[in-house]
Structure 1
């Protein structure tokens, strides 16, 4: 997979892709992440890429021309499965979207900044708009990193134990069950006996029951959304 990210703040994305799972995925050649600075595509000598909004009002807008120049240069090199704009009014990112996008080959992500991008970019180039929640960030860079992380960790070979991603929260419409590690008894706080039993069937049943109970308590909306696997015993 290749992910291209267009931004006015490329250094802001240095850290997320330089550590842990995302770095290992790139080192293994399983994904290529390329960050593109929008400013070199500016059409003026000051390399500015924003201007005042027509009609007035507070805040600056990323101009259409440098964005289109960058997008079309990248499109000339490869075909993109999706051109994604990180936007608070996009569809809210969830595990299903991450699963879907992890099957793609080439993704292009545009990060907004200031008051956003010229609407004509969204109308004529963007194929999908995604939000990571009902709040506003200073720009789309952190949101792009979140989206990329949710996708990359699902690629085959990225995680040392590929079954780990399958047991994550939301994969089956439920939150993940509680997890424990050594020691089995700490200050009198004990690990549930079933997890020490070595009985795989009983352990899996316990984990499913705990996942259902935790989801009912903390995120009942997930059950209301029609998760068929959320019923105990299914």
Structure 2
């Protein structure tokens, strides 16, 4: 076992488990789930269809209702499991839904229509990844341009902010001058001003500088505001 592994898995109780070891692991695992759980949910949701995203209660994995092509219908119909009066389960396709009642047809015998309450059926679902969520942005939008704009704005705003703030931090930390404490107090006070308070004046300044419809109109306010 490496030194890093020994450090991570060390125990207060030596060879055995101390109650503080158990409490520490519960705290660490719980924190891991709280921090990365939403990120994992976001990644899993990116593979869902719009209909799956609107489902309640939601599911972690991207499930989709199976469909079947039925004679006499132009579009594929969703499949549902319906409990029959004799207790057996039969797979039917939904032809139409009105309120709480749905008109169901047997894919093998589409000429016969049955009326079923939606509470008495269960969708036939299967794991389905909607890969089109990752391909459509490249075909329907200028995604690479949008990505470049985001990267450029983020990098430039970060670089300029680091340069300006590092010089200010160096002066406040290394030099002794009159009013240094007041300057620090003003900087900290401006950090507490919400963006909504200065949004209208900031908009007017950007308009007067002629920075509308430009990336610098997004970068400079980010650098100048607290």
Identify the TM-score tier after normalising by the shorter chain: under 0.3
**Larger-Rg structure:** 2
Q: Structure 1-normalised TM-score?
A: 0.19
Larger relative contact order (CA 8 Å, sep ≥ 6): 1
Specify which structure has the higher proportion of helix.
2
